[in-house]
Amino acid sequence: TPTVATTDVTLTCDDGFYPGISTQDFVTRHGIQSTLLELIHDHLLGAMACAHVTLLAWRTQQVAAGYATLADVPAEHTGPQDQPESVRVRWYRDAIYNLALSSLLLASQSLQQRAEAEHTAQTSPETEQRYHHRAHEALARIMDQSTCGVHLI
């Protein structure tokens, strides 16, 4: 198993409209071992690219309306009073983290087959789907779209 220093890296992949994503924050929040930091970087960058494609038309409208960054788009703010954060920025980070968790989970299944019973709950398709669903809910919230809908059975 390769070991990589747990240095924090802020990942970006556009002209600055979206905030950077901290690899250390992702690793810390989700209790992920940072020994495969390069793999984590790849999945976070892939998640960012996926989210940016999903948000492309919405982002274009916001830039045309004069907003230079996601944090500039009108939204409620949460967090400590001295460091309030736009809920859209929070939803963006949630979307990226959940997309990355979903793809990391699938990658870890193919990289190493674990003892079946011990990790069933962590590696079940339902868990991967839950992360994916959370990501799309966060993306919908950023665009002021409904997060619930009617699905045909």
How far, in Å, CA of 26 to CA of 33, rounded?
10
The reported pTM is 0.74
Q: What percent of the chain has pLDDT over 90?
A: 35
Residue pair 43/104 in contact (Cβ under 8 Å)? The answer is yes
pLDDT at 7: 66
Q: What percent of the chain has pLDDT over 70?
A: 75
